[in-house]
Amino acid sequence: MTDYFNEMYDSGQVRAPYARLEDWMRAMPAELRQMKQAEAEALFRRIGITFAVYGEGGDPDRLIPFDMFPRVFTQNEWRRLEKGIKQRARALNAFLLDVYGRGEIVKAGKIPARLVYQNEAFERAVTGFTPPRGIYSHIVGIDLVRTGPEDFFVLEDNCRTPSGVSYMLENREIMMRMFPELFRENRIEPVDGYADALRRTLASVAPAKCDREPTIGILTPGHFNSAYYEHSFLADLMGVELVEGADLFVEGGFVWMRTTEGPRKLDVIYRRIDDAFLDPLCFRPDSMLGIPGLMDAYRSGGVSICSAPGAGVADDKAVYTFVPEMVRFYLGEEPILQNVPTWQCAKADDCKYVLEHLGELVVKEVHGSGGYGMLVGPKSTKEQIELFRLKIEENPENYIAQPTLALSTTPTFVEEGIAPRHVDLRPYCLVGEKIELVPGGLTRVALTEGSLVVNSSQGGGVKDTWVLAE
């Protein structure tokens, strides 16, 4: 039986940041709790924040479960995380600038050339072009887990278009509406500056050819996309355009938006579609979502694309292993946040170890995301483990493995009352003229007892995340 770190109770004592919440929790009768839970659900439903679960069928407008019990960090805990996250975001961007330029880190032998240049996410088409300020990943979502009071690990980096920030904002909004007293009793750092910060970040990377206040647009694949709510929500909050590929065209080296008053030039595109679908002339010729000629406009400096095409080579699970090395190589600093020890099945020794310890490890696909194609050894049946053994033997390059981490728990409202459930954290770091991080992030919670998989696509829920002011 593994001993999990409980963020609220440490050796029977309530930890300081949760002190006031304990009174609140004790004072709340079951009926009131149920009523509040129903109220929260109604609010979420009314504002339309739902999450379509990939590949599971059923109700596409299913609500992502919201747990009312907040997750709390002290100012001190947060400061350390913030420093570590910003450091990592800087290193990841330095890596991207380097591998699309001279490739010094490869030449120095710090990372294998194959991992970078033969990576599916490496876009040869953007070599030779430096995006404004040399920034490739403007919104870096870093997934963190905690295993002890001082022990945080980075599970993965998301350098392309990390989703979920709308939940961070909405969870807070709902909590403030339902429990205003909690926000009087506790001094909680606000998160509502995120939209302004994102707008500032995007505006700060407008192309050099833009000589006025830049026009910004969010490029969405459309309403059938599971994150469409978030795209429209962010466009709304920032007061920018929400556009689809068909709304845009390229002419004279610029990107134009069709409007009722005629074409309007678009300077910065916050794209929420994958590289492959951006421009059928450059990437997938069958893309119906993209804008023909977009990459020519981008590479000749007529428009900025956030995140920059090709940014994905930094968040590949096989490249992840080298992020601490990137911090040392580019910044000359020691990494503040630790990586989870990772075995690369591509290496014969690692692969042998993984196959011998499948029952203890978490195995992931190198290019997978969202908790799909993943094996949690200790929670799997013999059949599931044997199936993975075959998959790994067939294509070892495609898999990495990590120890099953003792993810921390926080109190969570469940049917029987309150019980500890495992959580992770995704803060959203903005990289533009400045590097900014709102105090908070998205806490995901594995609602099933004992489960360590927090992905919303696998039935996880979300919580409001507090950072206490001093």
Is residue 134 involved in binding other proteins (CB under 8 A)? no
The nearer residue to other proteins, 100 or 330, going by C-beta atoms, is 100
156: its two tokens: 């993965």
Q: Contact region for other proteins (CB under 8 A) — 73-81, 248-256, 331-339, 390-398?
A: 248-256
CB neighbours of 99 closer than 8 A, spacing ≥ 6?
Answer: 105, 106, 116, 117, 122, 313
Which is closer to other proteins, CB of 130 or CB of 448? Answer: 130
Closest CA to 217 of 138, 261, 271: 271
Binding segment toward other proteins, per CB under 8 A, in 67-75, 122-130, 146-154, 231-239: 122-130
- Looking up tokens 């995006």 gives 131
d(CA 87, CA 90): 5
Indicate which single residue of 57, 58, 109, 128 sits in contact with other proteins (rule: CB under 8 A).
Answer: 128
Neighbours of 382 (CB within 10 A): 8
Residue 235 phi/psi, 5-degree rounding, is -60, -45
Q: Does 113 bind other proteins (CB under 8 A)?
A: yes
Stretch that binds other proteins, among 127-135, 327-335, 376-384, 443-451 (CB under 8 A): 127-135
Q: Does the footprint of other proteins cover residue 102 (CB under 8 A)?
A: yes
Q: Which of 48, 60, 101, 341 binds other proteins (CB under 8 A)?
A: 101
Distance CA 137, CA 65 (A): 30
Provide the residue type at 429 as one letter.
C
The span from the CA of 262 to the CA of 264, in Å, is 7
Q: Does 106 bind other proteins (CB under 8 A)?
A: yes
- DSSP assignment letter at 216: E
Candidate segments 38-46, 274-282, 355-363, 441-449, binder of other proteins by CB under 8 A: 274-282
- Give whichever of 160 and 299 is closer to other proteins, judged by the CB atom: 299
Question: Is residue 410 classed as helix, strand or coil in its secondary structure?
Answer: strand
Told to check if 310 binds other proteins by CB under 8 A, we report: no
In the structure encoding, which two tokens stand for residue 323, read together? 């992020």
Phi, psi dihedral angles at 455 (to 5 degrees): -60, 135
Binding test (CB under 8 A) with other proteins, winner from 10, 232, 257, 301: 301
| Min separation Cβ 343 and other proteins, Å | 24
Residue with tokens 């805990």: 77
Pick 77 or 267: Cβ nearer other proteins: 267
Residue 286 touches other proteins, criterion: CB under 8 A? no
**The pair of three-digit structure tokens given for residue 346, joined into one six-digit string:** 């591509």
Among 9, 37, 176, 253, contact with other proteins (rule: CB under 8 A): 253
Q: List interacting residues with other proteins (CB under 8 A).
A: 100-103, 106, 113-114, 116-118, 122, 124-129, 249-254, 280-282, 285, 292-293, 295-297, 299-302
